[in-house]
Structure 1
Amino acid sequence: MINIPYKDLDNSSSELHPALQFLLILATLLVALLIGTAIGLGIITGLYGYSTFTAITESNLAVPHAIPALWILQLTSTTLPILAAALFFAYVVTPKPQQYIRSNFKFSWVLMLLVFAIMFISSPLIEFLSNINAKMVLPHFLQWMRESEDNAEKLTNAMLQMNTIWQMIFDLLFIGLFTAVVEEFLFRGCIQTIIEKWTKNVHVAIWVTAILFSAFHMEFFGFLPRMMLGVLFGYFVAWSGSIWTSVWGHFINNGTAVVITYLYQHKEISISPDDQHVFNSAGYIISFIIVLFLFWVYRDIALKKKPVQA
């Protein structure tokens, strides 16, 4: 049996059953998202008018103030609600928040270097899964998902339009760092812990959480690569006992996309961030072998320093 740092989680009788915890955090997230959307509607309507709100929800970016309104809606309807749901659950619902948020720094900092290497070396694997995903064909009655993803991509590209380096830094902090923090607190922090308590199996918890993480983004044609990223993030936390290892990995993934997009927009590089044919079969195989080796090294170092639970 693998000695996972947080395998012996406390299932105190004062806590709700993990199944109820799971339903509760989903309900909390839903309520937070609804409230956040209402707040975003109020702010955008007050600043720019209701027509601007309806325009961006219909992916119409031709109206004045569409981009700032889009940022407001992203912050209020998605990012902050995710953070609020995770913190509310960890600090209000549960008696031991550190079992869920795992914000300790009791791990070897060599792990951060390994995460850095793993994230970059796994790029060919992620591309391979993206190409598999792209070949999948949706049935006719689900074609609306393709249209929805195209609209979402249009909005994302608008948010990633960076004319100055300061805009790039803003996107790097918001899309790269802040998004990484809030999503990891919710998924690898709260949800992965709940499922691990429920199933008594950390591997099941990691994979189920990764599936939920990918499904949450509602992008069918990005499901497999995002799920695999969720698996990587899950094991980072499982073996280190700290959420910051997965936050770092998540930031590297998002931040790299921001920087590459900026460089491509300013013609500093020729490779498009949307190009999914950068590597070949040999690259996929070599990437897989090296990532497995680095994961073995990561696990070996991480499990030598088991963090003390708060």
Structure 2
Amino acid sequence: MVKRPVNQMTPGLQFLVFICISIGIILLGTVISFVIVLATQGLDVLLDVLRGTLNNPGIVRALYVLQIVGTTLPIFIAPVVFACYIVKQPAEYLKTTIKINWVLFVAAFFIMMISMPLIELSSNINQKMVLPEFLKGIEDWMKRSEVMARKVTDLLLKMDTVADMIKNLVLVGLLTAIVEEFMFRGVVQTLMMKMTKNLHAAVWITAILFSAFHMEFYGFLPRMIIGAILGYFAAWSGSVWPAVWGHFLNNGTAVVVTYLFQHKMIKTSPDSTHVFNYGSYIFSLIIIIILLLVYKNLAQGKNSHDFNGEELG
């Protein structure tokens, strides 16, 4: 029996191959990051990381190593390897074309800024969600995990100088945006489009997977909505770069607001969930829908076809 090339397999099999590659590369990156921490900072720091003991002076540097080497780089390498060396169609699976209308980036900017009230509303709804009683053990575990994740994030985003803020804008804002968009709005959304033959299904399934990947139950809804917005950016433009820009705006705004709050330049905490009112929520939703339609029309003025040459919905 002659084996077919991966790019001639069904999209479902391609997705399975991609998952296996991603898991393998992430596991390898995690092992390498442990070795680096062990070699550069010693066993005590590594054990403190594994135990969740965050008061060790060397813990922040170790967390950066684990984040970049164990997660960020593998998330970048996996889609690139899959697109370039497995299916050998990087243009289709990564969508890195820059031949798009630059006005799309302006539209994406306003969409991301105006989405803030809607994201706050979805976060508030998410916080009130509870699992059934028989899943209480899982819910308690998720709460403990998210408390620990919050502590880690607070450590990484403790910024004493402008240089610290710029570093986090690059590492947390830009680098994370690029690698996650290559994986999700690049490979995963392309595969979902091939599997479902439906633009909206592909966008929302990818958004759900994107949010689930972060393993934060109480941030699931807002992250899913952000993922869907980014998905439409990529699908309608045929390029991943508007989604990268939107993702960077979301992450970068959080970094800048955190810095300003830490240095008492603003009074509103970045963790506040009651900045806007219900009027703002309704206004945000209406304007986002209008701006997304404007974005779609601008994008399809030059690119009115999806990955397979079929009319977009």
Query: Normalising TM by the smaller chain, what interval?
Result: over 0.9
Corresponding position of 1:116:
109
Question: Greater CA deviation, 52-61 or 277-286?
Answer: 52-61
Q: How far 1:51 moved relative to its partner?
A: 2.1
Corresponding position of 1:93:
86
Show structure 1 runs of 4+ deviating over 3 A.
Answer: 307-310
Corresponding position of 2:259:
262
Cα distance change on mapping 1:72 and 1:97 into 2, 3 Å: same
Q: How many residues align?
A: 299
Q: How far 1:13 moved relative to its partner?
A: 9.1
Structure 1 gap segments, 5+ residues each = 1-11
Cα distance change on mapping 1:94 and 1:14 into 2, 3 Å: closer
Corresponding position of 2:170:
173
Query: Percent of aligned positions with the same letter in both sequences?
Result: 48
- The one-letter amino acid of 1:81's match is P
Q: Is the 8 A contact 2:7 2:14 kept in 1?
A: no
The within-5 A match list for 1:118-267 is: 118-138=111-131, 139-142=135-138, 143-267=140-264
Cα distance change on mapping 1:14 and 1:212 into 2, 3 Å: closer
Q: How far 1:182 moved relative to its partner?
A: 0.1
- TM-score normalised over the length of structure 1: 0.94
Separation in 1, partners of 2:137, 2:268: 35
Q: Is the 8 A contact 1:107 1:307 kept in 2?
A: no
- The one-letter amino acid of 1:107's match is I
Separation in 2, partners of 1:181, 1:257: 17
- Output one character per residue of 1:83-107: Cα deviation in whole Å (capped at 9) or x when no partner: 0101000101113211011100111
Corresponding position of 2:77:
84
Question: Relative CO higher for 1 or 2, CA cutoff 8 Å, sep ≥ 6?
Answer: 1
Q: Is the 8 A contact 2:237 2:300 kept in 1?
A: yes
Separation in 2, partners of 1:60, 1:233: 35
Corresponding position of 2:283:
286
Separation in 2, partners of 1:248, 1:224: 21
- The one-letter amino acid of 1:67's match is V
Separation in 2, partners of 1:123, 1:35: 36
Q: How far 1:193 moved relative to its partner?
A: 0.2
Separation in 2, partners of 1:15, 1:177: 34
Separation in 1, partners of 2:15, 2:7: 16
Corresponding position of 2:311:
none
- Output one character per residue of 1:133-158: Cα deviation in whole Å (capped at 9) or x when no partner: 00012341211110001001100110
SS in 2 for 1:163: coil
- Output one character per residue of 1:43-87: Cα deviation in whole Å (capped at 9) or x when no partner: 000011122112123221111311001100001111001001010
Question: Greater CA deviation, 234-243 or 15-24?
Answer: 15-24
Q: How far 1:14 moved relative to its partner?
A: 5.0
Cα distance change on mapping 1:175 and 1:14 into 2, 3 Å: closer
Cα distance change on mapping 1:66 and 1:34 into 2, 3 Å: same
Q: Is the 8 A contact 2:34 2:66 kept in 1?
A: yes
- The one-letter amino acid of 1:306's match is N
Q: 1:70 aligns with which of 57, 63, 75?
A: 63
Q: 2:8 aligns with which of 12, 15, 24?
A: 15
Corresponding position of 1:4:
none
Q: Is the 8 A contact 1:121 1:287 kept in 2?
A: yes
Separation in 2, partners of 1:188, 1:218: 18
Structure 2 gap segments, 5+ residues each = 309-313
Corresponding position of 1:45:
38
Q: How far 1:307 moved relative to its partner?
A: 7.9
